[in-house]
C-alpha cells in the first residue's frame, strides 16, 4: 500500500475556498462542510482496474481515492462488499437492493465512521463525540473502541433500544436526550470546549463522506464499472447521497466511468421531509422541519447541514425528492419480507415505497435499472407482534393452523 495519500487539498463546499489537508478540521471558515480533493491525475495512473484485482473485497481497496496516508492507521472490523440483491417479485421493474446491513455494526454507518475514526487516528485524536439516531453512534462506538479511543454518544430518548444498548456494549458512553438529533448535536457542539472531544457529527468533519462515497464506487464496480439509471437513497443528513455523487465525478476523472450518471432520488418520510419540501419549492436550501416524527429513525433529521449539496446533486442528476408515509414504509417492509425473504430496515423499506410511488407518479419507468439502499439491519428496530401460541397439552386445531397460511 502507498505510504502517502493522494489528497491534494480540501475545499469549502459552499465557497470553494482552498483549505489545507492533514489538519484537524470541522467546518470551513464559512461554516460549511469540508470536502477532500485528490490529485486525480496521479490517482489515474496509480489506481488502474488491473491493480484493483487481487485486492480484498472491501472499501479499503479504493485506497488511492481515500484520505488515509499510512495504512497502519486503518481501523478495521472486517468490512466487506455488500451484495446487490435483485427484487424479483411484485415490484416489477429492474430493482436491486444494495444491502448495507451486512457491514460491521449492521449499517452503512460503518463506512463513514470507519473512515472518520481511521483519520482521527492518523491525526492523533483520542476523544470523539457524536449526535445520532442510533446507527452512527453504534458504529462510532465500535470503531473508536477498536482504535483505543474514547467515544461519547448522544441520541434522542426514543432511539431504538437495540442501538442504545449495542453502543454501550461496544464501549462508548451513551446518553438518551429528551430531544431530536439536532438537539443532541447542540450538546456535542457545546461540549467541544468543556470536554475537549472532536465532533464527528454528519458533515462536521471531512471524512465520513469519504467513507460513504465508497458505496458509489463499489456499486459501479459491481455493475462492471457502470452506473444504474436510478439510485433511491433514504436521506437524513445525506452523507451517502453527497458522497456517491462526489465519487462518480472522481471515477470519471480517473477514466473508470464516462459522463453518464444515475438519477439520484432522495427518499424521506412524510413525518420529516425537509429536503422534499425544499425540492418541491425549487429552493436551494431546506428549512428546519418542526415536530419531526417517523418510525424510520435514521431519516428523522429535521435539519441537514449539507442540504444545499443534496439538493444540488438531485438537480444535477435529473433526480428528485419524494416522501412516503410510515404506513407505506411498514407495508413495503412486510411485502419485501414476505415475498422476497429480505428483512429491510424501515429506512430501506422507505426506498421501496419511494420507488413504488415514483412509478405511480410516472417519474420513472419500469425499464430503468434502479438501486435501492437498505442501509441497516431490520433486526435493530421494533417489529410488529408475531406468532400465536399453542398449548401442546391440548388437541391441536390443525384447521386453524391451515387457515393461517
Ligand atoms: C444514517 C442513516 C440513514 C441516513 O443516512 P444519511 O447518509 O445520513 O442521509 C438512513 N438509514 C439508516 C438506517 C441510517 O442509519
Closest CA to 315 of 327, 323, 307: 307
- The answer to whether residue 282 sits within a structural domain is yes
**CA distance linking residue 169 with residue 234, whole number of Å:** 27
Atom of ligand 1 nearest to the CA of 239: 7
Share of the chain residues as helix, strand and coil, in percent rounded to the nearest 5: 40, 15, 40
Contact 166, 145 (CB under 8 A): no
CATH assignment of the domain containing 227:
3.40.50.1100
pLDDT in tens, 150-172: 999 999 999 999 999 999 999 99
- pLDDT at residue number 1: 44
Distance 2 CA to ligand 1 centre (A): 31
Distance 237 CA to ligand 1 centre (A): 7
Q: Give the torsion through C-alpha atoms of 246, 242, 359, 259, to 10 deg.
A: -10
Closest CA to 319 of 193, 233, 201: 233
- pLDDT at residue number 276: 98
**CA distance linking residue 304 with residue 288, whole number of Å:** 8
Distance 15 CA to ligand 1 centre (A): 26
Question: Closest Cα to atom 1, ligand 1: which residue?
Answer: 298
DSSP letter for 14, please. T
- The answer to whether residue 355 sits within a structural domain is yes
- The answer to whether residue 237 sits within a structural domain is yes
3-state DSSP assignment of residue 139 = helix
- pLDDT at residue number 405: 62
Which residues of the chain carry a pLDDT beneath 70?
A: 1-3, 405
- The answer to whether residue 110 sits within a structural domain is no
**CA distance linking residue 242 with residue 314, whole number of Å:** 10
- pLDDT at residue number 92: 72
- The answer to whether residue 279 sits within a structural domain is yes
pTM, full prediction: 0.96
- The answer to whether residue 166 sits within a structural domain is no
Atom of ligand 1 nearest to the CA of 212: 7
- The answer to whether residue 14 sits within a structural domain is no
- The answer to whether residue 242 sits within a structural domain is yes
**CA distance linking residue 188 with residue 243, whole number of Å:** 23
Matching residue, cell 481501523: 75
**How many Cα atoms are found within 13 Å in the side-chain-facing hemisphere of 324?**
34
Beta-carbon contacts of 40 under 8 Å, excluding residues fewer than 6 positions away, are 6, 250, 253, 254
| Integer CA distances (angstroms), 137 to 143, 280, 295, 359, in order | 10, 32, 18, 35
Contacts 24+ apart (CB under 8 A), 166-170: 166/105, 166/138, 166/141, 166/380, 167/132, 167/134, 167/137, 167/138, 167/141, 168/141, 170/105, 170/138, 170/141, 170/142, 170/145
Does ligand 1 have an atom closer than 6 angstroms to the CB of 109?
Answer: yes
3-state DSSP assignment of residue 105 = helix
Does ligand 1 have an atom closer than 6 angstroms to the CB of 375?
Answer: yes
- pLDDT at residue number 3: 62
Does ligand 1 have an atom closer than 6 angstroms to the CB of 238?
Answer: yes
Matching residue, cell 471524512: 207
* DSSP per residue, 164-209: HHHHHHTT-EEEEESS-HHHHHHHHHHHHHHH--EE--TTSSSSHH
Question: Closest Cα to atom 8, ligand 1: which residue?
Answer: 237
Closest CA to 347 of 160, 221, 77, 152: 160
3-state DSSP assignment of residue 107 = strand
Atom of ligand 1 nearest to the CA of 234: 10
Q: Which residues pair with 174 in a beta bridge?
A: 153
- pLDDT at residue number 404: 79
pLDDT in tens, 376-402: 999 999 888 888 899 999 999 999 999
Structural domain boundaries enclosing 279: 84-103+208-380
Beta-carbon contacts of 369 under 8 Å, excluding residues fewer than 6 positions away, are 94, 96, 228, 229, 230
- pLDDT at residue number 322: 98
- pLDDT at residue number 254: 98
How many domains are contained in the chain? 1
Amino acid at each position: 500500500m502507498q505510504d502517502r495519500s493522494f489528497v491534494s487539498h480540501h475545499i469549502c463546499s459552499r465557497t470553494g475556498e482552498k483549505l489545507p489537508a492533514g489538519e484537524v478540521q470541522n467546518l470551513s471558515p464559512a461554516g460549511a462542510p469540508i470536502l477532500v480533493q485528490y490529485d486525480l491525475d496521479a490517482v489515474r495512473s496509480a489506481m488502474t482496474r488491473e491493480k484493483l484485482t487481487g485486492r480484498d473485497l472491501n472499501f479499503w481497496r479504493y485506497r488511492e481515492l481515500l484520505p488515509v496516508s499510512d495504512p497502519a492507521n486503518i481501523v478495521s472490523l472486517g468490512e466487506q462488499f455488500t451484495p446487490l440483491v435483485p427484487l424479483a417479485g411484485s415490484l416489477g421493474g429492474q430493482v436491486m437492493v444494495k444491502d448495507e446491513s451486512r457491514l460491521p455494526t449492521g449499517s452503512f454507518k460503518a463506512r463513514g465512521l470507519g473512515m472518520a475514526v481511521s483519520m482521527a487516528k492518523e491525526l492523533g485524536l483520542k476523544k470523539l463525540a457524536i449526535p445520532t439516531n442510533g446507527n452512527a453512534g453504534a458504529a462510532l462506538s465500535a470503531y473508536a473502541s477498536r482504535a483505543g479511543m474514547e467515544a461519547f454518544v448522544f441520541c434522542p430518548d426514543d432511539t431504538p433500544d437495540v442501538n442504545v444498548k449495542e453502543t454501550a456494549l461496544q464501549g462508548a458512553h451513551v446518553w438518551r436526550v429528551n430531544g431530536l438529533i439536532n438537539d443532541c448535536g447542540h450538546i456535542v457542539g457545546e461540549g467541544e470546549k468543556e470536554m475537549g472531544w472532536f465532533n464527528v457529527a454528519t458533515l462536521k468533519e471531512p471524512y465520513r463522506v469519504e467513507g460513504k462515497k465508497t458505496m458509489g464506487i463499489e456499486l459501479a464496480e459491481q455493475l462492471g464499472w457502470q452506473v444504474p439509471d436510478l439510485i433511491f437513497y433514504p436521506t437524513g443528513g445525506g452523507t451517502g447521497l453527497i458522497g456517491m455523487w462526489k465519487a462518480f465525478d472522481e471515477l470519471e476523472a480517473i477514466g473508470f466511468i464516462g459522463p453518464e450518471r444515475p438519477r439520484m432520488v432522495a427518499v424521506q418520510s412524510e413525518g420529516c421531509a425537509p429536503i422534499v419540501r425544499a425540492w418541491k419549492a425549487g429552493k436551494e436550501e431546506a428549512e428546519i422541519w418542526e415536530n419531526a416524527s417517523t418510525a424510520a429513525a435514521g431519516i428523522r433529521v429535521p435539519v441537514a447541514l449539507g442540504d444545499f449539496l443534496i439538493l444540488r446533486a438531485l438537480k444535477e442528476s435529473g433526480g428528485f425528492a419524494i416522501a412516503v408515509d410510515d404506513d407505506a414504509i411498514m407495508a413495503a417492509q412486510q411485502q419485501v419480507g414476505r415475498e422476497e425473504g429480505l428483512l429491510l430496515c424501515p429506512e430501506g423499506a422507505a426506498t421501496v415505497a419511494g420507488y413504488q410511488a415514483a412509478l405511480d407518479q410516472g417519474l420513472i419507468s419500469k425499464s430503468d435499472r434502479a438501486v435501492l439502499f437498505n442501509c441497516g439491519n431490520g433486526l435493530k428496530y421494533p417489529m410488529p407482534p408475531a406468532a400465536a401460541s399453542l398449548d401442546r397439552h391440548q388437541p391441536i386445531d390443525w384447521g386453524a393452523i391451515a387457515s393461517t397460511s
